[in-house]
Amino acid sequence: MLEVIILAAGRGTRMKSSTPKVLHPLAGRPMVMRVIDTARQLKAERIHVVVGHGAEQVSAAIAAPDVTTYVQAEQLGTGHAALQAAPSCLPQSTVLVLYGDVPLLTTEVLSEVVNAASHSPVLLAATLDNPIGYGRVIRDSNGCFAKVVEQKDASPDELAVAEVNTGVLAAQASELHRWLLQVTNDNVQGEFYLPDVLGLALDDGREVSVVVTDRSSDIAGVNDRAQLEELERAYQNRQAKALMADGVRVMDANRLDIRGSLSCGVDVVLDVNVVIEGDVVIGDGAIIEANCVLKNCSIGEDAVIHAFSHVDGAVVGPQCQIGPYARLRPGAELGEQAKVGNFVEVKNSVLGPGAKANHLAYVGDASVGADANIGAGTITCNYDGANKHRTELGKNVFIGSNSTLVAPLKVEDDGFVAAGSTVTATVGSAQLAVGRAKQRNIDGWKRPVKPKK
């Protein structure tokens, strides 16, 4: 049985933030949640998270039936942190220790670590071009593991070693617990170091395995905002590459941000500065132009979302044309070939196939029939200050420009509303509604004159 301990109590001082470090999002999800996700993918039976700095906030954010939290009141080191949770693990379990601020480790390499731990304690190492800051893995003359030395405790020779401790470690629970109790804080930082358990394992006559990963970007930890930005770009790049491999045209992998999940058909085009949030599905051949934000929505095949549009909680049908500068809000549902043009806002409304609102309109709490045309400047007055009311427009309805549709209101199929009307009562099928003052022309009109200076 596998149990995972995640260390997440550290202060994260260098983030200079009032938010605990592990709650800072990477690709839209708090780092510690990504580590918990990874533990779940590994099929961990139980997940133990050690919290400390911002304990209440972190505990609230990660609360789940399979997650237990432990409060490390004082941050006395990684060994001390692991000791908060280790006694709660079942003795025969394999325990994998992960860090809440190392969010990109993949399950492939971690499975290797877990498998190796059935024989002996395991450390995950990596060889880095720049090992500064990491604990170094020191090997004996036979190339076997000897110890981990922290940067601050290392001799010049040891500092020259490029093989580093990623922080990931696995061992049998009862052994890990026993060794953790023996760890001392006799070092430069006066901390209880988790990797010291491996030296104690050797003292016990146990072998220590070292799994070495060559995916150095995966093992990176986040200590400051610059490292967080680096990891964010690395992760976004990974996602962009995967999309391209699946047949998506990504105009610039460095200018695409997926903060959630994106599923794309083939020949989708994602232009620069597209931001994806939540769950988004895009059908074959759809084009998302520059600077669009798509959140929890689905975009039909061959639809075009023109530049600077914001789509949130909407369903966009095949071959629709949206924007530029359109805003689709939750509950907007657009049938095939519908068009929503610049500066049009649509909320909680169904537009039938071929329906159009091409310029400057507000369509809220409405149903709009197939091929209906909503003129520029039209608004549905859906709110009376207390309640929302619906507007129902039938098939092939024509709403002239600058009309005010006061809900609740119905315009039946083929109904026609003259431009500039305020419409408050039902318009029957194929009727013309003119809801405006009749024009008067006044003869002999004297223009106002400017006063003489």
Point out the residues that are catalytic. 359
Instruction: Return the one option of ligand UD1, Ca ion, none that residue 100 interacts with (CB less than 5 to 8 A, by type).
Output: ligand UD1
In terms of CB distance, is 231 or 338 closer to ligand UD1?
231
Exposed / middle / buried, residue 74 (Cβ in 10 Å: 0-12, 13-18, 19+): exposed
Q: How far is the CB of 101 from Ca ion (least distance, A)?
A: 6
Please answer whether residues 345 and 363 qualify as being in contact, where contact means their C-beta atoms are separated by less than 8 angstroms.
yes
DSSP annotation of 237 reads H
User: Residue 44 in 3-state DSSP?
Assistant: coil
Specify the residue for token string 């990963």. 213
Please answer whether residues 297 and 313 qualify as being in contact, where contact means their C-beta atoms are separated by less than 8 angstroms.
yes
Q: How far is the CB of 155 from ligand UD1 (least distance, A)?
A: 16
**Phi, psi of 202, deg, nearest 5:** -60, -40
In terms of CB distance, is 52 or 318 closer to ligand UD1?
52
Q: Residue 4's closest CA among 156, 138, 167, 169?
A: 169
In terms of CB distance, is 11 or 241 closer to Ca ion?
11
Instruction: Return the one option of Ca ion, ligand UD1, none that residue 72 interacts with (CB less than 5 to 8 A, by type).
Output: ligand UD1
Q: How far is the CB of 216 from ligand UD1 (least distance, A)?
A: 12
Q: How far is the CB of 255 from ligand UD1 (least distance, A)?
A: 29
Rg (CA), the chain: 31
Instruction: Return the one option of ligand UD1, Ca ion, none that residue 30 interacts with (CB less than 5 to 8 A, by type).
Output: none
Quick one: which segment of 221-229, 339-347, 398-406, 444-452 binds Ca ion (CB under 5 A)? 221-229
Three-class secondary structure assignment of 357-423: EEEEEEEECEEECCCCEECCCCEEECECCCCECCEEECCCCEECCCCEEECCEEECCCCEECCCCEE
Instruction: Return the one option of ligand UD1, Ca ion, none that residue 317 interacts with (CB less than 5 to 8 A, by type).
Output: none
Q: CB under 8 Å to 446, separation ≥6 — which residues?
A: none
The 163-202 site mask, x for binding Ca ion (CB under 5 A), equals ----------------------------------------
- Contact residues toward ligand UD1 (CB under 6 A) are 7-10, 50, 52, 72, 75-78, 80-81, 99-102, 134-135, 148, 150, 164-167, 193-195, 221
**Phi, psi of 416, deg, nearest 5:** -135, 130
Instruction: Return the one option of ligand UD1, Ca ion, none that residue 352 interacts with (CB less than 5 to 8 A, by type).
Output: none
Tokens of 396: 């092939």
Q: How far apart are CA 292 and CA 271, in angstroms?
A: 9
Residue nearest to ligand UD1 (CB): 135
In terms of CB distance, is 221 or 428 closer to Ca ion?
221
Buried-exposed string 183-219: b where 16+ CB fall within 10 A, e elsewhere: beeeeeeebbbbbbbbbbbbeeebebbbbebeeeebb
Q: How far is the CB of 135 from ligand UD1 (least distance, A)?
A: 2
Q: How far apart are CA 132 and CA 267, in angstroms?
A: 43
Q: How far is the CB of 233 from Ca ion (least distance, A)?
A: 19
In terms of CB distance, is 15 or 316 closer to ligand UD1?
15
How many residues would you count in the chain?
A: 453
DSSP-assigned states of every residue in 157-226: HHHT--EEEEEEEEEEHHHHHHHHHH----STT----TTHHHHHHHHTT---EEEEES-TTTT---SSHH
Instruction: Return the one option of ligand UD1, Ca ion, none that residue 199 interacts with (CB less than 5 to 8 A, by type).
Output: none
In terms of CB distance, is 158 or 267 closer to ligand UD1?
158
DSSP annotation of 313 reads S
Tokens of 248: 């998506």
In terms of CB distance, is 97 or 293 closer to ligand UD1?
97
Instruction: Return the one option of ligand UD1, Ca ion, none that residue 78 interacts with (CB less than 5 to 8 A, by type).
Output: ligand UD1
Quick one: which segment of 19-27, 169-177, 219-227, 334-342 binds Ca ion (CB under 5 A)? 219-227
Instruction: Return the one option of Ca ion, ligand UD1, none that residue 135 interacts with (CB less than 5 to 8 A, by type).
Output: ligand UD1
HSE, side-chain direction, 13 A CA sphere, residue 428:
1
Applying CB under 5 A, among 28, 221, 313, 324 the residue interacting with Ca ion is: 221
In terms of CB distance, is 97 or 297 closer to ligand UD1?
97
Q: How far is the CB of 94 from ligand UD1 (least distance, A)?
A: 19
Q: How far is the CB of 338 from Ca ion (least distance, A)?
A: 51
278 touches Ca ion (CB under 5 A): no
Q: Which residues bind Ca ion (CB under 5 A)?
A: 221
